[in-house]
Amino acid sequence: MNSLRARLLAATAVLLLAFIVLTGVALEAAVSERADQAERDRLQGLSYALLGSAEITADGGFRLAPRVLPESDLSRPDSGLYALVLDEDNEPVWRSPSLLGTIDLERWPEVGEWRFTRVERDDARLITLAFGFRWVTDAGKDYRYTLIVAENADSFAKQMQRFRGMLWTVLSVAALMLLLVELLILRWGLAPLRRLARNLVSLQSDEKRRIEGRYPDEIQPLVSNLNTMLSNDQARLTRYRNALGDLAHSLKTPMAILRGLAEDEQLPAAHRAPLRNQLARMNDILDYQLQKAAAAGKRSLAAPIAIAPAAEKLARALTKVYAEQGTRFDVDVPAGLRAPIDEGDLTELLGNLMDNAAKYGGGTVRVSARERDGDLALCVDDDGDGFGDGETERLLERGVRADASREGQGLGLAVAAEIVRSYTGEIELERNEDGGARVRALIPAA
């Protein structure tokens, strides 16, 4: 239940179901009561018609002798419509031709009382209306009778059944249609959100760091803010790096002058060496901290960067720098390979690793990159003597070693490790098949 559509749909479905059921039950009850009432009225009308044509014989017998019975069904045997008159002792005194046998009631009506009940008979269910009355003849004789008019309930039940079937069919169809409409409404209503989600995804596979398009008033502010954040994010990083660069520039130029002065022959040799060492130390600390600070690290919604161009650019640049040694830089990176890493970070990471490999290797540096389960695996190999045993821990150590005398492997690898860590990745130093050093960096996709 983790999608807006599912939630809305579930809520609507429950609500709709409750509404339909209640409506159905209420309608059924109302119609059923109305049908009962109509049946009772009909039976009562029939009773009146029968009573109207009744007479008492001279001997006090009750005689119903209409020339025509008010309903022809009363005269057809077992037609389903019956009438019965019982005397004081509940002995039948007259029965309509349609009735075979008798009708038993659980309770007999009082005089003047109409009793409307349903009765189970062996072969059928009857709806009965019983009326208790007293007949006083002109001769002053007083007779107590009960008139029962009954109709077979089957046809009534059948009618109700039909009605019920139709009622629930119509309601179910209506409910289904409403749900379908609701589905369409949700689709249409949530379409902007889906579009936003799509754009967010494409943002990560796209160079442009912007969400395009116009959105409904409810989410447009969110989109605008997101766009502002995305552009500020990049601008801030650039500003920050420039500031760090300026800081480096303003500190390192004086340091360069001091470094030059440290060569002055007039200074005692005992002073020159410590001066040089301290300057080198300051420089290492500065370099390490600045490079560490300039690392962008993992950022959300970052556009993935193509790996090959950055690696090839570095290879071209470093080929120039190592022209004297004739170092070869081989780049083995699939053309379309991209990873969500900041371009500056990627360049620093590869630059440090490739420079190290060129400095300490045997003349050939190989950069390879592969995608492994969505993660980026970078390898920089050289053909030197590889890392010494127990050296790897020290090289990856955070921070600069206090006695580091020159910019070297320690610093470059420490910076590289710092960058990889800022992407929650892993860096490993190994020996490759040819005995050379291999640095492997794994940058997770997300």
* Contact with other proteins (CB under 8 A) among 58, 65, 270, 323: 323
Does 313 bind other proteins (CB under 8 A)? Our answer is yes
Interface with other proteins: number of residues (CB under 8 A): 40
Q: Cβ closer to other proteins: 203 or 294?
A: 294
CB of residue 413 vs other proteins: minimum separation in angstroms? Answer: 14
Angle between helices 343-360 and 269-294 (to 10 degrees): 140
d(C-alpha 32, C-alpha 35), whole Å? 5
Tokens 């269910």 map to which residue?
125
Mask of contacts with other proteins, 215-244, x by CB under 8 A?
A: --------------------------x---
The angle subtended at Cα 290 by Cα 285 and Cα 296, nearest 5°, is 140
Please list every residue from 324 through 383 that binds other proteins, using CB under 8 A: 324, 343-344, 347-348, 350-352, 355
The answer to whether 377 and 436 have CB atoms below 8 angstroms apart is no
Give Cβ neighbours of residue 165 (< 8 Å, ≥ 6 apart).
Answer: none
Q: Cβ closer to other proteins: 148 or 346?
A: 346
Q: Cβ closer to other proteins: 201 or 256?
A: 256
d(C-alpha 204, C-alpha 305), whole Å? 10
Residue 401 phi, psi (nearest 5): -70, 135
Q: Which span sits near other proteins by CB under 8 A: 2-10, 122-130, 287-295, 364-372?
A: 287-295
Please list every residue from 407 through 446 that binds other proteins, using CB under 8 A: 407
Helix, strand or coil, per DSSP, at residue 284: helix
Q: Which span sits near other proteins by CB under 8 A: 16-24, 165-173, 195-203, 314-322?
A: 314-322
The answer to whether 358 and 382 have CB atoms below 8 angstroms apart is yes
Please list every residue from 254 through 283 that binds other proteins, using CB under 8 A: 254-261, 263, 279, 283
- Nearest Cα neighbor of 293 from 235, 344, 339 is 344
Cα torsion angle, 121, 124, 129, 131, sign: negative
CB of residue 279 vs other proteins: minimum separation in angstroms? Answer: 6
- Amino acid symbol at 148: I
Q: Cβ closer to other proteins: 71 or 348?
A: 348
Helices (runs of H) and strands (runs of E) counted in the chain: 8, 14
* Contact with other proteins (CB under 8 A) among 320, 374, 389, 402: 320
Beta-bridged to residue 111, according to DSSP, are: 132
Q: Cβ closer to other proteins: 127 or 350?
A: 350
Interface residue list for other proteins (CB under 8 A): 241, 245, 248-261, 263, 279, 283, 287, 290-291, 294, 313-314, 316-317, 320-321, 323-324, 343-344, 347-348, 350-352, 355, 407
